[in-house]
Amino acid sequence: MSNGRLAHTRVGVLGSGEVGRRLAAGFASRGHDVMIGSREPGKPELSEWLSGDGAGIKAGTFPETAEHGELVVLAVLGNAAEEAIAEAGPDNFAGKVVIDAMNPLDFSAGFPPKLSIYGENSLGECVQRALPDARVVKAFNTIGNPYFVDPSFSEGQPTMLIAGNDDDAKRTVGDIVADFGWPDAVDIGGIEGSRELEAICILWVKIGGRRGAWDHGFKLLAG
């Protein structure tokens, strides 16, 4: 059983890149039953990770992983999100809390990237529209993946900003954030807040490019 705020649960993480692996390992480290989803669940590099840092985590296809999770994390490349949802089967997300940890990045003009979705729209909103029966919460998209779990900087801890339409779902994600060693998450409002959160990712990347380093995060100061 997990000793944190989130009771022991089945978690499905769609996406076996660095972001998906870090989040899957975070949930596993807190005692949850985790499956990581890939289009090729038997690929050698994933098998190697599952026998090392990912020990105890199962691998499955996108549909298997979405079905496995009582809570589902979307961690594929942002521009492949809707394709991944279609492949996983939208019905497998119905009624569930879905964490959108993705950013829609456009590298067509080189570095730094731009957002591929912008204006009066965002990837978070696209995900919620694609999954009308799920409760989507944007989280984990404004910081580098080495800091997803137990984040620490020389000047303290960063702030996790989250957005979504369902208050209960945001409380669940707030529990996860706390269990992962963060201060209390800051809820910025409805899923349309993904517009600002995705723009913060671009800011984070630009700062990294100027610094030539990626060990930075953002902190909200109040009072």
**How far apart are alpha carbons 8 and 27 in whole angstroms?**
10
Residue 140 covered by a domain = yes
> What pLDDT, on a 0 to 100 scale, did the predictor assign at position 15?
98
Q: pTM above the 0.75 mark?
A: yes
Residue 46 covered by a domain = yes
Containing structural domain, residue 68: 10-209
Residue 217 covered by a domain = no
Has residue 1 got a pLDDT over 90?
no
Peptide bond into 112 cis (omega under 30): yes
HSE at residue 126, side-chain half, CA atoms within 13 A, is: 23
> What pLDDT, on a 0 to 100 scale, did the predictor assign at position 2?
61
Percent helix / strand / coil, the chain, rounded to 5: 40, 15, 45
Residue 4 covered by a domain = no
Is the distance from CB of 81 to CB of 24 less than 8 angstroms? no
Token digits for 97?
């809390």
Residue 5 covered by a domain = no
Structurally, the chain folds into a number of domains equal to: 1
Distances from the Cα of 146 to the Cαs of 155, 161, 216, 223, in angstroms?
Answer: 17, 17, 11, 29
Q: What is the mean pLDDT of residues 17-42?
A: 97
Residue 214 covered by a domain = no
Residue 219 covered by a domain = no
Instruction: Give the pLDDT confidence of 93-145 residue by residue, as tens digits.
Output: 999 999 999 999 999 999 999 999 999 999 999 999 999 999 999 999 999 99
Domain holding 57: CATH number?
3.40.50.720
* Residue 106: its H or E element: strand 105-106
Residue 111 covered by a domain = yes
Mean pLDDT of the chain: 97
